[in-house]
Amino acid sequence: MIDLHTHILPAIDDGVETEDEAVEFARCAVADGVRVIVATPHCRDGFYMNDRRTVLDAVVRLRERLDREGVGVTVEPGAEVHLCPDLVERVRDGRAPTLADNGRTLLLELSLSQYPVELENVVFQLRLAGIDTVFAHPERIRFFQDDVARYESLVRLGAYGQITTGSILGLFGRRAREFSVELLRKGLVHAIASDAHNVRGRPPTLRAAAVAAGQLVGERRARAMVQDVPAALLAGREPEMPPVETRADGPAGLLRWLRRLGDSFRSPDSGTG
């Protein structure tokens, strides 16, 4: 599996604090069947000024440490970039890092409670510049919760959506979970990611959420959201989404696949998660 949204880079935002914690974080992900972790620290004016060079350097340091520790996982660079009016220029000059440093795929963060201004125009301008927008945790954004049509219109413009494991599993409350279910059933979810900040309260695990999603949309689509679609987005390609299965056969097949995937990447020194 590929975890498209994590805060694994140490001492760079509100996620992992130390390099030792980052190693534990990676071990936890590997034990759950994750083979690629995308490091997406916050990038927001006045809070976390994580530009492209900062992120790339931090990823190199973490890769070296994980290699020394024998942790079998790939770490890719990225960022969770907060909405601002000049996103196209920021991507071009490196102030706004892209996923896998591909220059094309932007993980975009909105305020959880404040309404954005001219959001459709921002997405349209990004699209014109050849930059794809992936909305981080749309199920937790009040602007979308209050009117799902706002989100649907952005998806029609070519945007993608990544929902969070904790939302599917009810860890962010009833409203986020119910809206997650609605978005999944309407085919408005493209990827599932952990948005993990640590190994305990918000751990880097995908397995349970993928199984839960499989019960709603079917095995093929759930697999795509933790494997095929994230891979395409990292490569800067347009992902192909299997149709939502209106009558899923249940989670048994997906659970077997997840177990096989976890076994294939688990090693004696990967930890128990």
The answer on pLDDT for 248 being more than 70 is: no
The pLDDT value given to residue 133: 98
What's the average model confidence in pLDDT over 31-57? 96
Residue 188: give the domain boundaries: 2-265
**CA 181 to centroid of chain Cα atoms:** 17
The answer on pLDDT for 256 being more than 60 is: no
What is the pLDDT confidence band of residue 181, given thresholds at 50, 70 and 90?
very high
Total number of domains constituting the chain: 1
The pLDDT value given to residue 258: 47
Question: Which range is least confidently modeled, 84-93, 121-130, 132-141, 241-250?
Answer: 241-250
Q: For a pLDDT cut of 70, what percent of the chain falls above it?
A: 90
Distance (Å, whole) CA 175 – CA 144? 12
What is the pLDDT confidence band of residue 261, given thresholds at 50, 70 and 90?
very low
The pLDDT value given to residue 46: 87
- Cβ within 8 Å of residue 229, ≥6 positions away: 160, 190, 191, 239, 241
DSSP string, the chain: -EEEEE--STTSSSS--SHHHHHHHHHHHHHTT--EEEE--EEBTTTB---HHHHHHHHHHHHHHHHHHT---EEEE--EEEP-TTHHHHHHHTSS--GGG-SSEEEEE--SSSPPSSHHHHHHHHHHTT-EEEEE-GGG-HHHHT-HHHHHHHHHTT-EEEEEHHHHTTTT-HHHHHHHHHHHHTT---EEE--B-SSSSS-S--HHHHHHHHHHH-HHHHHHHHTHHHHHHHHT-PPP-PPP-TT---SHHHHHHHHHHHHHH--TTS---
Q: Is residue 185 part of a domain?
A: yes
Q: For a pLDDT cut of 90, what percent of the chain falls above it?
A: 86
Q: Is residue 143 part of a domain?
A: yes
* 113-134 per-position pLDDT tens digit: 999 989 999 999 999 999 999 9
Q: Is residue 162 part of a domain?
A: yes
Q: Is residue 243 part of a domain?
A: yes
What's the average model confidence in pLDDT over 75-91? 96
Q: Is residue 193 part of a domain?
A: yes
Task: Give the CATH number for residue 246.
Answer: 3.20.20.140
Question: Which range is least confidently modeled, 13-22, 62-71, 87-96, 242-251?
Answer: 242-251
Q: Is residue 93 part of a domain?
A: yes
What is the pLDDT confidence band of residue 272, given thresholds at 50, 70 and 90?
very low
Share the mean pLDDT of the chain: 91
Q: Is residue 117 part of a domain?
A: yes
What is the pLDDT confidence band of residue 257, given thresholds at 50, 70 and 90?
very low
Tokens describing residue 24: 């534990």
Q: Is residue 55 part of a domain?
A: yes
